[in-house]
Amino acid sequence: MEWSPRKAWLLMTVSWAAVVFNLSRTSYSSAASGRAITTILGWLSISILPPNLGLLNALLRKSAHVMEYAIFAALLYNMMKPVEDPSWSRKAAFWALLASGSYSLTDEFHQLFVPGRHASLFDCLIDTMGALLGLLVLSTVLVALRPKPAGIVAETANGLS
C-alpha cells in the first residue's frame, strides 16, 4: 500500500479523534483533574484557596478543549484540502469547522453515558471556537509561509520595500 499525503492526514486525523474520544473517559473527569492539580501544587509547595483551585481547574480544562479541537480542525483541514493546491481553501476550512463542531456534539453525547461526566453544550461551543481558532492560526501561518512572487523577493533583497 502506497502512502499518499491524503492517507497520512487521514490516519493522523482519525488517531486524534480517538485521543479526543478517549479523553471523555471517567479518568479525565473534573474531579480527577482537580486532584492532579492539587497534587502538583503540593509538590511545588504552592498553596491556593479552594475557590481559586476550582477556577484554575476550570481554566485548564476549558483551555484543553480549545487546544484539542484546534488541533483536530487543523488535521481535518489538511485531510480535506486539495493536495495539489497549496493556497488556502475556504471550502476545506468550512467543512473542517463543521466536522469539528459535529464531532464535539457526538463527544458530549458520549459523555452522557460515562459515569462521573456530563454533557455540556457550552463545551461544544468552546470546542467549536477552538476549531475556529486553530483554522485562523493555520491560515495565518500558511499565508506567512506562502512564497512571494519573484518581483517582491528581488525588491526586498535590494532593500526597496
Digit-coded pLDDT (tens) for 84-138:
887 889 999 999 999 999 999 999 998 888 887 888 899 999 999 999 999 999 9
Contacts for 161 with CB less than 8 Å, ≥ 6 apart: 152, 155
> 23 lies in which domain range?
5-157
Read off the amino acid at residue 85: D
> CA 89 to CA 42: how far, in whole Å?
48
Domain count, the chain: 1
Among residues 57, 66, 53, 71, which one has the least CA distance to residue 28? 57
pTM: 0.81
- CA 130 to chain CA centroid, Å, is 6
Q: On the CB side of 47, how many CA atoms lie within 13 Å of its CA?
A: 1
Q: Per the structure block, which three cell numbers stand in for 17?
A: 479523534
Q: Per the structure block, which three cell numbers stand in for 11?
A: 490516519
pLDDT in tens, 50-90: 888 889 988 998 999 999 999 999 999 999 998 888 788 99
